[in-house]
Structure 1
Amino acid sequence: MAGKEGPRPGGRSARVQASVHGAVQALMTRMERAEVTIPMIAAEAGVTPSTIYRRWGDIQELLADVAVERLRPDMEPVDTGIGGRDLLAWAEQYAEEMSSKPGRAMIRDVLAAQDGSGAYQCCNFTKQQIEVIAARAEGRGEAFPDVDAVMDRVVSPIMYRILFGEVPDTARVARLVTGAMELVSPAPAPV
Structure 2
Amino acid sequence: EQENFISDTKTKQIEYDKILEEHKVAVEQLLGKISTTSIAGHHKKVADSAMKSARTWQIFTMISFAITAGFSVYSLLFQEITTLSWPDLVAKFFAIASLGSLTAYTARQAKINQELAYNNRNLEVELKTLDPYIAIFNSHDQELFKKELFPKIFGRNNENKALSGEEYDNFAVQFIEKLMNAIEKREK
Specify if TM > 0.5: no
Q: Computing the radius of gyration over CA atoms, which structure comes out larger, 1 or 2?
A: 2
Which of the pair is proportionally richer in helix?
2
- TM-score normalized by structure 2? 0.24
Q: Greater relative contact order (Cα 8 A, min sep 6): structure 1 or 2?
A: 2
